[in-house]
Amino acid sequence: GPKVLQIPSHQIIDMGQMVTLNCDPVSNHLYFYWYKQILGQQMEFLVNFYNGKVMEKSKLFKDQFSVERPDGSYFTLKIQPTALEDSAVYFCASSSGTGETLYFGSGTRLTVL
Amino acid sequence: GQQVQQSPASLVLQEGENAELQCNFSTSLNSMQWFYQRPGGSLVSLFYNPSGTKHSGRLTSTTVIKERRSSLHISSSQTTDSGTYLCALDSGGSNAKLTFGKGTKLSVKS
């Protein structure tokens, strides 16, 4: 089936540093998403992105977070600066439209020390 | 309160037994997806099922909108079915956003 690729699979950084998580969505998809899952907890929506803009974000999407997809390249989630509570697995997803199947990547496990 | 509730929270089966996983939701439904989350964490989409019944191999998903529930049936379970099963609700609106349940952790023993 369609594949969403996430790079890197693991990232360890020191608190206060910047981190960029990369996502290569399904090629003809137009809607992109980030979800966050703290170990052992529920998957939670962070943000969705369409036509170069954030359409909706949750309260988990702090001011330190930003997303972009410059010129059809990777869809990225940047956290600057990072905090200890940002440690989690971040999942990227994409879909061809609203109300359509979301396809998820394998996640990036972020550890903030 | 919790918009999406899954039951049971965990389930242990002997190989060959069947399983019925439930997902109840309290808001309107635009779509329902079922996912399998591997022990390592990656997600696999099992069904996109806004209504009715769908089959895929040993898996069957049934969504009954007016009863605000969706179920996932696993027949003749195998040890490789072990993992966490998540249902996720899209309640509609102009922006697609999934609300996940907490999952059912399934363990199938040989």
Go through chain A and tell me how many residues it has. 113
Chain-chain contact of B95 with A56 (C-beta, under 8 angstroms): yes
pLDDT tens digits for range B4-48: 999 999 999 999 999 999 999 988 777 889 999 987 778 889 999
**Token pair of A5 as six digits:** 């690729």
Quick one: pLDDT at residue A105? 93
Distance CA A5, CA A25 (A): 7
Look at residue B55 and tell me whether its pLDDT is greater than 60. yes
Chain-chain contact of A107 with B90 (C-beta, under 8 angstroms): no
Q: Judge whether B13 and B21 are in contact, CB under 8 Å.
A: no
Residue of B nearest to A106 (CA): B42
Closest alpha carbon to A113 in A13, A9, A8, A21 = A13
Q: Judge whether A2 and A59 are in contact, CB under 8 Å.
A: no
Look at residue B1 and tell me whether its pLDDT is greater than 70. no
Look at residue B94 and tell me whether its pLDDT is greater than 60. no
Q: How confident is the model at residue B93 (pLDDT cuts 50, 70, 90)?
A: low
Q: Judge whether B51 and B28 are in contact, CB under 8 Å.
A: no
Go through chain B and tell me how many residues it has. 110
CA count, 13 A, side-chain hemisphere, A99 = 8
Peptide bond into B8 cis (omega under 30): yes
pLDDT tens digits for range A72-109: 789 999 999 999 999 999 999 999 987 788 899 999 99
Is B81 part of the contact surface with chain A (CB cutoff 8 Å)?
no
For chain B, counts of helices (H) and of strands (E):
0, 11
